[in-house]
Amino acid sequence: MVDILNDRTDRVRDRYRAAQAAGDKLVTCAVAAYELIYGAAISPRPQVHLPNAEELLDALEIEPWTLEDGYAASRLRFSLRKAGRMNGSADILIAGQALNRHWTVVSSNLREFERVEGLQVVDWREPPQDA
């Protein structure tokens, strides 16, 4: 979401707009929304970044956290810990919810998310696979 918000990458902006135009269901989880709002609040210019973050979040469907998401994230955290591959807590919550709901995660943070077996991850900075 930060790449969309900052509008620094033409490809990310174009893919976001194309997804909107195609009527794709664009959702985010409450954890990712929290991370975006927190980042905007601690930025050097929160008076600019907070309204922009709120505008972006208004354009997305924000999915609440459920107990089933919690179980999925707990299983994921356990398996990553057992394999000696820890991820950040927020990333585990996001990935667990995405796994539970069979979502594709759109992120430029491939290093963390690609560690998660079975998680579909797309980086909008890269050209689409069919391009």
Per-residue pLDDT reduced to its tens digit, 55-103: 999 999 999 999 999 999 999 999 999 998 877 889 999 999 999 999 9
The reported pLDDT for the residue numbered 112 is: 85
Question: Which one-letter amino acid corresponds to residue 121?
Answer: V
Comparison of pLDDT for 20 and 1, the residue scoring more: 20
Q: How far apart are CA 57 and CA 67, in angstroms?
A: 23
Q: How far apart are CA 34 and CA 75, in angstroms?
A: 22
For domain 2-122, the CATH class is alpha beta
The reported pLDDT for the residue numbered 131 is: 55
From the list 31, 90, 98, 37, the residue with the least C-alpha distance to 62 is 31
With a cut of 70, say whether residue 124 has pLDDT above it.
Answer: yes
- Mean confidence (pLDDT) of the chain: 90
